[in-house]
Amino acid sequence: QVLLQESGPGLVKPSGTLSLTCSVSGDSMTGHYWNWIRQPPGKGLEWIGSIYYSGSTVYNPSLNSRLTISIDTSKAQFSLNLTSVTAADTAVYYCARRAYGDYPFDSWGQGTLVTVSS
């Protein structure tokens, strides 16, 4: 059973960079897409972007200019960097797994709240 765990600062200053890491255990990263999804407090879900185990990325066009997702399969981790953050980026950030091809998100981390505030 795969387990995903998000980690990173819970508070980021406006105009700063939001950086999170997702650690994967219980299964290989090979053959899967690894995703970031966020949920503003009291609101719905927004897919941020994904990275294949080989390193190729796909980003939500609305965040593309501020977003970088990277992967380190040797450490079984993938990471999110979101620059120039504002209060609108305050959310619970989830990492999630998706199988290669057109499949849904079958495993999720527990999520981590990131607040953008001075």
Q: x-or-dash pattern for another protein, window 1-40, by CB under 8 A?
A: ----------------------------------------
Using CB under 8 A as the binding rule, whether residue 110 contacts another protein is answered as yes
Q: Concatenated DSSP letters for the chain?
A: --EEEEES-SEE-TTS-EEEEEEEESS-STTEEEEEEEE-TTS--EEEEEEETTS-EEE-TTTGGGEEEEEETTTTEEEEEE-S--GGG-EEEEEEEEESSS--EEEE---EEEEE--
Q: Which stretch binds another protein (CB under 8 A): 7-15, 23-31, 59-67, 77-85?
A: 59-67
Smallest gap, in angstroms, from Cβ of residue 16 to another protein? 25
Using CB under 8 A as the binding rule, whether residue 44 contacts another protein is answered as yes
Query: Which residues are at the interface with another protein (CB under 8 A)?
Result: 44-47, 58-61, 94, 98, 102-106, 108-111
